[in-house]
């Protein structure tokens, strides 16, 4: 084995009575990577993390940290430390005492403890915070102290349980970048669980998308975004327009799909999937994959060019959000609403409700999956 | 609609300012009357009575004689110290017994079981203290349940008297005080976030140092208020020491009772009452200083 595995889960199952919270999860995390587990609330990700920390024992399966089985090892003996959702800083101690808590349990000399505490405070850029009370710190500072308290123990694994959830938006964006940089500097393996896809995509080397206790797909953020392998992943990671339809004809790697509301869309298939005519499928198109045009000439051109789906519609609503602006366009033929991204060049900054637009997108940008209930859940979440 | 009602609301409020003040006063009145008539007035009178000496029929003079008598008579002295020490011991035992129970109720049990156990702590207090104490007497006396059982089991040959000693007195005092320790402890432990305990384990702590460094510091206000209430109740208890402690179970409240009722010596009784008040305040003050708590913390 060329790279050492910091964490390995082998067919881990956890059931509570009849309910299976974690269902046959296997994963391998190489040393020094940032691994996220992304899923809607109730998907079992917290149960999985608590099993890694040692608060819950798996029903079956094995958890190995640094190639040592952790079954039966209590949380205070595991080389894994956790940053809790609400941080769980000890309010009865000051910042330095909080950080020193774990070190004191290891019977390290006071001088050594002081040096390590000062080091780690420096590392999280709060060198003078040692004497402060916890309630004197801001949200972002508490965040950093909670991470420092775990990092000072030099664990093999740092487990993070949605620690950014309680922060306001601006600070959360800032902490995302900071957390990724910190992980890069210290080189500790981070296991991060979240329901926020943006957090997972921005920070992680690898992301596992979890749903109903199972891993739907494990891959790099780019992989998950551009090549989702299940309908759930396509719906949950990033935004997507979703249609349901039935395959009318198949030809090469492409198919014509008749939508329930009427209209036909050409679609491609993900590699390794096979469909037959007459099957019901879910179609996904990302809002930014759709090109919008409004001049007469462009409309003509779009209609004529081959290999594209085209629709003409009327702008229903403008959702202005700076560089992330969108428009909700109602398809004239079918009445279906389509979400499209406005180009960041500002070419459509004067777009108004009620304007007619022509939408077009490449056939390859349409993804088809066998229709499942999970897909609609993904969208709803 | 809403703006209209808000406007009229503020106008009304402005007009009602003195009315509200009167209302607040009326609401406070029972408390103020209670404090004044039953606490302040009797104590002022007590102080005045304690500082006079009876010279003859309806003839009194200002004097410290009653206090001097207390300090020169060893029986009074010894009873005074004994009452204080026994009360402190009873408070400590109540805390040691009550803390695990409270922890179990607040942190381990959930839902129905939790309410059930809490109720079980509460139900004995539906019965009057007198009946509860007689319950202990039925168990512990020479011809009582435990003595009979031991004889039946062949452990002892004759009847055993377990009543009228310091141990039975202590059992009664702890039993009487338990609820007043459990209630503040449960409520303070309820506010301890479970994730703090988990974080303690996660960072390498064991049960003992999590208890010492996280649970107890958090529970300190509850411990302090529970201890104050239990200590005061024990120190001022009359029934339990009289019934379970017997003739040798000297308790300072009995001395006060004797002065007032048996000896008709109101002057001396008042002085003893005042000394008890000073003693309890002093011990609570020292206790708070030692545990680094403030009185305000304990009533939070």
CATH of residue A150: 3.40.50.300
Give the minimum alpha-carbon distance from B192 to chain A in angstroms, rounded to a whole number.
10
Q: What is the mean pLDDT of residues A216-225?
A: 92
- Report the candidate in A112, A140, A101, A108 with the shortest Cα–Cα distance to residue A124: A140
How far does the CA of residue A19 sit from the closest CA of chain B (Å)?
A: 20
The answer to whether residues A187 and A278 belong to one domain is no
A74 touches B: beta carbon within 8 Å = yes
User: Would you call B203 and A102 a contact, using CB atoms and an 8 Å cutoff?
Assistant: yes
> Poorest-confidence range of A52-56, A118-122, B246-250?
B246-250
Helical pair B129-140 and B145-153, crossing angle rounded to 10 deg? 20
pLDDT reported for residue B186: 94
Strands A157-161, A189-194: pairing is parallel
Which pLDDT belongs to residue B94? Answer: 96
Q: Give the gap in angstroms from C-alpha B197 to the nearest C-alpha of chain A.
A: 9
Mean pLDDT confidence for A173-200: 90
Contact B204 A76 (CB under 8 A): yes
pLDDT value of position A36:
94
Query: How does A338-353 read in b/e, with b if 16+ C-beta sit within 10 Å?
Result: bbbbbeeeeebeebee
How many CB atoms within 10 Å of residue B77? 12
Residue A1 structure tokens: 């084995």
Buried b (16+ CB within 10 A) or exposed e, A361-381: bebebbbbbebeebbbbbbeb
Please give the Cα distance from A15 to A230 (Å, whole number): 24
Confidence of residue B20 (pLDDT cuts 50, 70, 90): low
Judge contact between A43 and B186, C-beta under 8 A.
no
| Residue A19 and residue A45 in one domain | yes
Q: Which of A263-277, B111-125, B244-258 has the lowest mean pLDDT?
A: A263-277
Rounded Cα–Cα distance for residues A67 and A55 (Å) = 20
Q: Is B260 helix (H, G, I), strand (E, B) or coil?
A: helix
Nearest to B203 among A74, A81, A92 (CB): A81
Please say if the pLDDT value at position A8 is more than 60.
Answer: yes
Q: Which residue pairs from B119-127 have beta carbons closer than 8 angstroms and sit at least 24 positions apart in sequence? A: B121/B178, B121/B179, B121/B182, B122/B179, B124/B175, B124/B179, B125/B179
Cα dihedral across residues A166, A170, A173, A176: positive or negative: negative
Contact status of A155 with chain B (Cβ, < 8 Å): no
Q: Is the pLDDT of residue A261 over 80?
A: no
* CB contacts, 8 Å: B199 with chain A: 82, 84, 88, 90
Q: Phi first, then psi: give them for residue A54, nearest 5 degrees.
A: 105, 5
pLDDT of B204 > 60? The answer is: yes
Average of per-residue pLDDT values in chain B = 86
Instruction: Name the burial class of residue B212, with classes exposed (0-12), middle (13-18) and buried (19+) by CB atoms within 10 angstroms of its CB.
Output: exposed
**Long-range CB contacts (< 8 A, 24+ apart) of A224-227?**
A225/A201, A227/A270
Backbone angles phi, psi at B236, to 5 degrees: -95, 5
* Shortest distance, CA A89 to any CA of chain B (angstroms): 7
The residues of B whose Cβ lies within 8 A of any Cβ of A are 193, 195-196, 198-206, 209, 213-214, 217-218
Which pair of structure tokens corresponds to residue A167?
A: 């922060």
In 3-state terms, what secondary structure has residue B163? coil
The torsion angles phi and psi of B123, rounded to 5 degrees, stand at: -55, -40
CATH number, position A274: 2.40.50.100
User: From the candidates A92, A113, A154, A191, which should be mutated to test the interface with B, based on the most B CB atoms within 10 A?
Assistant: A92
Give the per-residue pLDDT at A203.
92
Same domain for A307 and A226 = no
Considering only alpha carbons, which residue of chain A is nearest residue B197? A88
**Could you give the percent of chain A with pLDDT greater than 70?**
92
Domain termination site, one of A232, A260, A278: A232
pLDDT over 90, % of chain A: 41
Alpha carbon of A105: minimum distance to chain B alpha carbons (Å): 6
Residues of B in contact with A108 (CB under 8 A): none
Query: Taking 70 as the threshold, does the pLDDT of residue A298 lie above it?
Result: no
Residue B64: predicted pLDDT: 86
Q: In sequence order, what DSSP letters do the residues of A204-219 get, joined into one string? A: -SEEEEEETTEEEEEE
What's the length of chain A? Answer: 381
Range with lowest mean pLDDT among A167-176, A247-256, B12-21: B12-21
Kindly report the nearest CA distance between residue B233 and chain A, in angstroms: 30
- Residue A68's domain comprises 5-232
Using one digit for the tens of pLDDT, what is the confidence trace for A101-160? 999 999 889 999 999 999 999 988 888 888 999 999 988 899 999 999 999 999 999 999
Average pLDDT over residues B114-136: 88
Residue B38 has, within 13 A of its CA and on its CB side, a CA count of: 6
**C-alpha–C-alpha distance, residues A76 and B210, integer Å:** 11
Mean pLDDT of A182-208: 91
Biggest CA pair distance of chain B: 88
List the single residue in A54, A85, A105 with the smallest CB-CB distance to B209.
A105
- Does residue A333 or residue A190 have the better pLDDT? A190
- The secondary element (H helix, E strand) that includes residue A116 is helix A110-123
**A206 falls in which pLDDT band (50, 70, 90)?**
very high
**Does residue A131 share a domain with residue A29?**
yes
3-class secondary structure, A12 = strand
Task: Answer for the pair A13, A183: CB distance below 8 angstroms, yes or no.
Answer: no
Of B205, B213, B214, the CB nearest to A76: B205
Strands (E) located in chain A: 5-16, 19-30, 34-38, 60-65, 68-69, 80-83, 157-161, 189-194, 206-211, 214-219, 241-251, 254-259, 264-269, 280-285, 291-293, 308-319, 326-331, 337-341, 356-362, 367-370
What residues are paired with A361 via a beta bridge?
A: A309
Which member of B203, B213, B218 has the closest CB to residue A153?
B203
Crossing angle for the helix pair B41-50 and B266-290, nearest 10 degrees?
120
Judge whether residue A355 has pLDDT over 90: no
Query: How far is the C-alpha of A171 from the C-alpha of A137, rounded, in Å?
Result: 14
Which residues in chain B have Cβ-Cβ distances shorter than 8 Å to A149? 203
Nearest to B218 among A85, A92, A150 (CB): A92
Count of structural domains, chain A: 2
CB contact under 8 A, B205 and A101: yes
Count the Cβ atoms, other than its own, within 10 Å of residue B173.
Answer: 26
Inter-chain Cβ pairs, chain A and chain B, closer than 8 A? 59
Which residues of chain B are within 8 Å of residue A81 when distances are taken between CB atoms?
202-203
Q: Which pLDDT does position B160 carry in this prediction?
A: 82
Name the residue facing A84 among B195, B209, B214 (closest C-beta): B195
Residues A306 and A360 in one domain: yes
Using a CB–CB cutoff of 8 Å, tell me whether A225 touches chain B: no
Q: Does any CB of chain B come closer than 8 Å to the CB of residue A275?
A: no
Closest residue in B to A88 (Cα–Cα):
B196
Q: Does domain B65-298 have CATH number 3.90.1150.10?
A: no
CB A271 within 8 A of CB A229: no
pLDDT band of residue A164 (cuts 50, 70, 90) is confident
Mutate to test the interface with B, among A84, A86, A147 (most CBs of B within 10 A): A84
Please list every residue in chain A whose beta carbon sits closer than 8 Å to the beta carbon of residue B213. 90, 92-93, 101
pLDDT at residue A69 above 80?
Answer: yes
Q: Are residues A82 and A110 in the same domain?
A: yes
The pLDDT of residue B8 is: 46
ipTM of model: 0.80
Q: Do A153 and B205 touch (CB under 8 A)?
A: no
∠ at Cα B231 (B227, B232), nearest 5°? 120
A84 contacts B199? CB cut-off 8 A: yes
- The domain boundary residue, chosen from A210, A232, A254: A232
pLDDT at A169: 86
**Band of the pLDDT at A278, cuts 50, 70, 90?**
confident
Strand partners, A243: A283
Same domain for A109 and A66: yes
**Could you tell me which of A88, A123, A122, A118 has the C-alpha nearest to residue A103?**
A118
**Looking at the structure, do residues A268 and A218 belong to the same domain, yes or no?**
no
**pLDDT reported for residue B18:** 57
Are A149 and B200 inside 8 Å of each other by CB?
Answer: no
Q: Where are the alpha helices (DSSP H) in chain B?
A: 2-33, 41-50, 65-72, 74-103, 111-122, 129-140, 145-153, 166-190, 194-202, 207-210, 216-235, 239-245, 252-257, 266-290, 295-298
Predicted confidence (pLDDT) per residue in B52-107, tens digit: 887 777 778 888 888 888 888 888 888 999 999 999 999 999 999 999 999 999 99
Q: How far is A185 from chain B (nearest CA, A)?
A: 22
Q: How far is it, in rounded angstroms, from Cα B190 to Cα A198?
A: 36
In sequence order, what are the residues at sequence separation of 6 or more whose Cβ sits closer than 8 angstroms to the Cβ of residue A357?
A: A292, A293, A294, A312, A313, A314, A315, A327, A329, A340
Using alpha carbons, select from A46, A78, A6 the residue that is nearest to residue A163: A46
Q: Cite the residue boundaries of each domain of chain B with CATH code 1.10.3720.10.
A: 65-298
Is residue A210 located within the same domain as residue A259? no
By C-alpha distance, which of B139, B95, B37, B66 is closest to B234? B95
Gyration radius of chain A's alpha carbons = 25
What's the confidence (pLDDT) of residue A301? 62
Give the residue from A184, A203, A232 where a domain finishes: A232
Confidence at B121, pLDDT banded by 50, 70, 90: confident
Q: pLDDT band at B193, cuts 50/70/90?
A: very high
């Amino acid at each position: 084995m060329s790279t050492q595995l910091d964490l390995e889960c082998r067919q881990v199952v956890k059931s509570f009575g009849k309910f299976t919270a974690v269902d046959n999860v296997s994963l391998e995390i190489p040393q020094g990577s940032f691994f996220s587990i992304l899923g809607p609330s109730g998907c079992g990700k917290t149960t999985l993390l608590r099993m890694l920390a040692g608060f819950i024992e798996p029903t079956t399966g094995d958890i190995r940290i640094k190639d040592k089985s952790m079954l039966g090892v209590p949380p205070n003996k595991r080389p894994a430390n956790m940053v809790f959702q609400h941080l769980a800083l000890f309010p009865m101690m000051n910042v330095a005492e909080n950080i020193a808590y774990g070190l004191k349990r290891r019977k390290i000399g006071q001088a050594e403890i002081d040096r390590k505490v000062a080091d780690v405070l420096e590392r999280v850029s709060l060198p003078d915070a040692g004497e402060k009370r916890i309630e004197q710190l801001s949200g972002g500072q508490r965040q950093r102290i909670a991470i420092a308290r775990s990092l000072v123990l030099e664990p093999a694994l740092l487990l993070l349980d949605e620690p950014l959830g309680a922060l306001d938006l601006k600070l959360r964006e800032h902490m995302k970048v900071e957390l990724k940089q910190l992980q890069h500097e210290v080189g500790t393996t981070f296991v991060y669980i979240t329901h926020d896809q943006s957090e997972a995509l921005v920070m992680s080397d690898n992301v596992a998308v979890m749903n109903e206790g199972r891993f739907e797909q494990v891959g790099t953020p780019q992989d998950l975004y551009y090549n989702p392998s299940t309908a759930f992943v396509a719906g949950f990671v990033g935004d997507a327009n979703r249609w349901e339809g039935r395959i009318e004809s198949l030809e090469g790697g492409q198919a014509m799909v008749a939508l329930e509301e009427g209209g036909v869309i050409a679609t491609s298939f993900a590699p390794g999937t096979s469909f037959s005519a007459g099957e019901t499928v879910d179609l996904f198109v990302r809002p930014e994959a759709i090109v919008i045009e409004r001049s007469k000439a462009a409309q003509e051109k779009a209609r004529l060019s081959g290999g594209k789906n085209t629709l003409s519609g009327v702008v229903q609503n403008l959702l202005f959000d700076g560089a992330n602006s969108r428009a909700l366009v109602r398809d004239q033929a079918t009445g279906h609403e389509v979400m499209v991204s406005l180009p960041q060049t500002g070419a459509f900054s004067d777009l108004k409700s009620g304007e007619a637009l022509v939408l077009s997108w490449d056939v390859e940008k349409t993804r088809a999956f066998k229709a499942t209930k999970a897909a609609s859940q993904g969208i709803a979440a | 609609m809403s703006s209209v009602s808000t406007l009229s609301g503020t106008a009304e409020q402005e007009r009602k300012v003195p009315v509200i003040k009167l209302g607040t006063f009326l609401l406070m009145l029972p408390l103020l009357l209670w404090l004044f008539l039953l606490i302040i007035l009797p104590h002022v009178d007590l102080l005045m009575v304690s500082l006079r000496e009876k010279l003859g029929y309806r003839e009194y003079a200002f004097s410290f004689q009653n206090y001097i008598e207390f300090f020169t008579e060893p029986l009074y002295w010894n009873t005074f110290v004994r009452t204080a020490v026994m009360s402190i011991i009873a408070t400590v035992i109540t805390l040691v017994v009550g803390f695990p129970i409270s922890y179990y109720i607040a942190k381990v049990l959930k839902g129905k079981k939790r309410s059930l156990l809490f109720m079980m702590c509460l139900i004995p207090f539906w019965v009057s203290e007198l009946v509860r104490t007689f319950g202990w007497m039925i168990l512990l006396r020479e011809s009582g349940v435990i003595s009979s059982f031991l004889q039946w089991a062949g452990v002892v040959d004759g009847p055993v008297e377990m009543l009228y000693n310091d141990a039975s007195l202590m059992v009664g005092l702890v039993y009487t005080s338990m609820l007043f320790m459990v209630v503040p402890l449960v409520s303070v432990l309820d506010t301890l976030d479970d994730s703090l305990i988990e974080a303690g384990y996660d960072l390498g702590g064991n049960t003992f140092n999590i208890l010492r460094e996280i649970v107890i510091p958090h529970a300190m206000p509850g411990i302090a208020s529970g201890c104050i209430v239990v200590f005061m109740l024990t120190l001022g208890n009359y029934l339990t020491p009289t019934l379970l402690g017997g003739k040798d179970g000297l308790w300072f409240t009995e001395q006060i009772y004797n002065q007032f009722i048996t000896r008709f010596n109101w002057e001396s009784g008042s002085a003893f009452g005042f000394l008890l008040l000073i003693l309890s305040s002093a011990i609570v003050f020292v206790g708070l200083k030692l545990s680094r708590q403030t009185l305000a913390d304990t009533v939070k």
